[in-house]
Structure 1
Amino acid sequence: MFVRIVKMRFHEDKIEAFLTNFEAVKQHIRNFEGNQFLELYQDKNDQCIFFTYSYWENEQALENYRNSILFNEVWSYTKTLFSDKPEAWSLDRLVSLV
């Protein structure tokens, strides 16, 4: 399993636009081939900071998404709302307890 975490900081007046767009595209992202899980988090102390957690079958599945029309449309819009440069981490999940 391959995990991708993206941290995004938005202008406060753009948060609603981001959330509206995320609501519209989340099922498309989740149903993209190779995606196994998608969550969105908002920081408890700074309402302008959000994280996406997505699980992918492997790195190639994420790369396929990142090279897709869907990603291009989502990211092209989302990045116009940022107040700071996003950060991203690619991780291999080692242990998961549920």
Structure 2
Amino acid sequence: MLVRIVKMSFEPTKIEEFLANFEANKSKIRAFGGCSFLELYRDQNNTNIFFTYSYWNSENDLNNYRHSELFKSVWAKTKPLFNAKPEAWSVDKLVSLN
């Protein structure tokens, strides 16, 4: 399993637009082949900074999503809202405690 973490920083005046776009597409992203988990986080102190946290069955599944029409349409609406370059990490989960 691959865990994908994406950090995004938005212009404060664009946050509602981002949230509306995420709300409209979150179920489609989660239902995309190979995605088994999706969450959105917001920094408590810097409230214009958000993180997505998603689980993918494989790197191939993530790449299929990143090259899909769904990703292209979501990203086209998201990218102009940034006030800093987004950062992304693909990581392996080593330990999980419930």
Instruction: Return the TM-score normalized by structure 1.
Output: 0.98
1:42 aligns with 2:42: yes
Gaps of at least 5 residues in structure 1 are none
Measure the CA separation in 1 of the matches of 2:23 and 2:6. 17
What is the CA RMSD across the aligned residues, in angstroms?
0.5
4+ residue runs over 2 A deviation: none
1:17 aligns with 2:17: yes
1:55 aligns with 2:49: no
Aligned position for 1:33: 33
Aligned-residue sequence identity (percent) comes to 63
Gaps of at least 5 residues in structure 2 are none
Instruction: Return the TM-score normalized by structure 2.
Output: 0.98
What code does the residue aligned with 2:83 have? S
Count of matched residue pairs: 98
Aligned position for 1:77: 77
Cα offset for 1:46?
0.5
